[in-house]
Amino acid sequence: MLIRRPDDIPSSEITPESTYVNRRQFVGAAGALALAGLAAPAVLGASRRPATGEAQDDKLTPEEDATSYNNFYEFGTGKDDPKRNAGTLRPRPWSVQVDGLVKAPKRWDLDDLLRGLAKEDKVYRHRCVEAWSMVIPWQGVRLRDVLARLEPTPSAKFVEFTTLLDPQQMPGQRTATLRWPYKEGLRLDEAMNPLAMLATGMYGKTIPNQNGAPLRLVVPWKYGFKGIKSIVRIRLTDTQPSTSWNDAAASEYGFYANVNPTVDHPRWTQAKERRIGEFLRRNTLMFNGYAEQVGSLYAGMDLRKFY
Ligand X SMILES: Nc1nc2c(c(=O)[nH]1)N[C@H]1C(S)=C(S)[C@@H](COP(=O)(O)O)O[C@H]1N2
The residues binding ligand X (CB under 6 A) are 70-74, 126, 128, 163, 182, 211, 224-225, 227-230
Count of residues engaged in binding Mo ion, rule: CB under 5 A: 4
Q: How far apart are CA 23 and CA 15, in angstroms?
A: 9
212 near Mo ion, rule: CB under 5 A = no
Site for Mo ion in 48-77 (CB under 5 A): 71
Q: How far apart are CA 203 and CA 123, in angstroms?
A: 9
Q: ∠ at Cα 268 (264, 273), nearest 5°?
A: 85
CA 249 to chain centre: 21
Which residue type, as a one-letter code, is found at position 131?
A
Answer for which of 137, 212, 224, 241 binds Mo ion (CB under 5 A) is 224
137 interacts with, out of ligand X, Mo ion, none, CB within 5 to 8 A per kind = none
Which residue type, as a one-letter code, is found at position 62?
P
From the list 103-111, 121-129, 190-198, 239-247, the region that binds Mo ion by CB under 5 A is 121-129
225 near Mo ion, rule: CB under 5 A = yes
Answer for which of 30, 46, 110, 128 binds Mo ion (CB under 5 A) is 128
Nearer to ligand X, 108 or 124 (CB): 124
From the list 122-130, 162-170, 199-207, 259-267, the region that binds Mo ion by CB under 5 A is 122-130
228 interacts with, out of ligand X, Mo ion, none, CB within 5 to 8 A per kind = ligand X
199 near Mo ion, rule: CB under 5 A = no
Closest separation in Å from C-beta 17 to ligand X = 20
Nearer to ligand X, 146 or 213 (CB): 213
Closest separation in Å from C-beta 119 to Mo ion = 26
Nearer to Mo ion, 208 or 224 (CB): 224
Closest separation in Å from C-beta 137 to ligand X = 12
Nearer to Mo ion, 12 or 260 (CB): 260
Nearer to ligand X, 48 or 216 (CB): 216
CA-based end-to-end distance of the chain:
36
Closest separation in Å from C-beta 243 to ligand X = 11
Sheet bearing 95-100, strands edge to edge: 106-109, 95-100, 231-237, 158-163, 183-187
Q: ∠ at Cα 230 (226, 231), nearest 5°?
A: 75
The rounded radius of gyration (Å) of the Cα atoms in the chain is 20
Closest separation in Å from C-beta 191 to ligand X = 16
Contact 156, 102 (CB under 8 A): yes
Q: Burial-class residue 242 by CB neighbours within 10 Å (0-12, 13-18, 19+).
A: middle
CA 65 to chain centre: 16
Which residue type, as a one-letter code, is found at position 298?
Y
Nearer to ligand X, 12 or 61 (CB): 61
Beta bridge partners of 126: 134
Local structure of residue 44 (DSSP, 8 states): G
